[in-house]
Amino acid sequence: MKNIIKELELKSKEIRLKLIKLSSIESIHIGGDLSSTDIMTVLWQYKMKYKYQDEFRDRFILSKGHASALLNLEQAMLGCYEEQKVYDEYAKDESMFAMHACNMKNPYIEISTGSLGHGLPVACGIAVALKLKKNNKSYVYVLMGDGEQSEGSVWEAAMNATKYKLGNLVVFIDNNDLEADGHINEITSLGDIGNKYKAFGWNVININGNSIKELVETVDNLPKPNTDIPTVVIAHTTKGYGVSFMENNLRWHAGKINEEQLEIATNDLLGKRNNNE
């Protein structure tokens, strides 16, 4: 167990270094990429059964489609394609990698996303279809943002998921408290996200979403796909996690960094940070 956590922590750090490298080449949604990195690494490099086109693979929907760079790097780490391809082609003309998850040229993406509030409703259709096909082995994982919870379509789907008893549906909410224009509770009165899902009949788990240990414990103890109650993991995270000048800084919702910033960010991630947090 300890070894797995250590290994995943290293992989998470590796992914963050790759994200920083990519953001020195192209503008990416770096703040939300860094907050979601631990969730995504635990899913893609540990929990998910993923074999391309296999009927019994787990499905993954990136509802916060703007974290496409992170998804691409996780898929590259898993061996779907070469990592170098991401640096060479991300957001280039005719590319397979867009700034929002696009499956027109990337077949490893189940559903194209980008506009918020679409991932969960589509995932409910997939989850119900799996049940109809008597596939009791596959999970449908969804990663949403916290600001995304303002979309009404999310709550249409939240009702639908309990009605159709989608125990195979597991949603992670990257609760980094910041959306594009400010703090989530200043932009809207969102309040306690977990209690809202609880009111709709969901199984709700609150954890530190930047703790590999807590994430591993959570995914190790998920209800089985053949159960009846959908699960939402409210993953409390820090936007820009791991990079000193980006943490909790709205400026880094998206952006490209210069050479000096690359050096600071790299040092931060390698543990060479000077300040005491």
Partner 1 sequence: MNNKIFLRDVVGNYMLNLGDKDEKVVVVNADLMGTCRNKTFVEKYPNRSFNVGIAEQNLVSFSAGLSAEGYKPYAFTMAPFMSMRACEQVRTDIAYGNKNVKLIAVYSGLSGGISGPTHWAIEDCGIMCSIPNMIVVEPSDKKEAESLLEESLNINKPIYFRITTESTKDIYTEKTKFKIGKSNIPIKGNDGAIICSGVTVQFAIEASKIIEEKTNKKFRVIDMHTLKPLDEKEIINACNTKNIIVVQDHNIIGGLGSLVANVIATNNLNTKFKILGIPDIYPVIGHANYLYNKYGYDTEGIVKTAIKMLKED
Q: Which is nearer to partner 1, 115 or 195 (CB)?
A: 115
Separation in Å, CA 192 to CA 153, 199, 204, 255: 18, 11, 11, 29
User: In the set 7, 82, 115, 183, which binds partner 1 (CB under 8 A)?
Assistant: 115
Place of tokens 């969102």: 190
Q: Rounded to an integer, what distance in angstroms lies between the CA atom of residue 175 and that of residue 61? A: 17
For residue 246, which of 83, 68, 23 has the smallest C-alpha distance? 23
Instruction: Return the residues of window 146-165 that contact partner 1 according to CB under 8 A.
Output: 152-153, 156-157, 159-160, 163-164
Place of tokens 């609760």: 175
Which helix (DSSP H) or strand (DSSP E) does residue 142 occupy? strand 140-145
User: In the set 132, 189, 258, 260, which binds partner 1 (CB under 8 A)?
Assistant: 132
Q: Which is nearer to partner 1, 112 or 261 (CB)?
A: 112
Region binding partner 1 by CB under 8 A among candidate stretches 23-31, 90-98, 113-121, 267-275: 113-121
Structure tokens at 61: 């929907």
Q: Does 195 bind partner 1 (CB under 8 A)?
A: no
Give me the least distance between CB of 198 and partner 1, in Å please: 20
Q: Does 52 bind partner 1 (CB under 8 A)?
A: no
Q: Rounded to an integer, what distance in angstroms lies between the CA atom of residue 178 and that of residue 189? A: 13
What is the rounded radius of gyration, in angstroms, for the C-alpha atoms of the chain?
Answer: 18
Q: Does 199 bind partner 1 (CB under 8 A)?
A: no
Give me the least distance between CB of 176 and partner 1, in Å please: 24
Name the β-bridge partners of 59.
140
User: In the set 15, 42, 86, 122, which binds partner 1 (CB under 8 A)?
Assistant: 122
Q: Does 130 bind partner 1 (CB under 8 A)?
A: yes
Q: Does 213 bind partner 1 (CB under 8 A)?
A: no
Contact 145, 179 (CB under 8 A): yes
Interacting residues with partner 1 (CB under 8 A): 103, 110-112, 114-115, 117-118, 121-130, 132-133, 152-153, 156-157, 159-160, 163-164
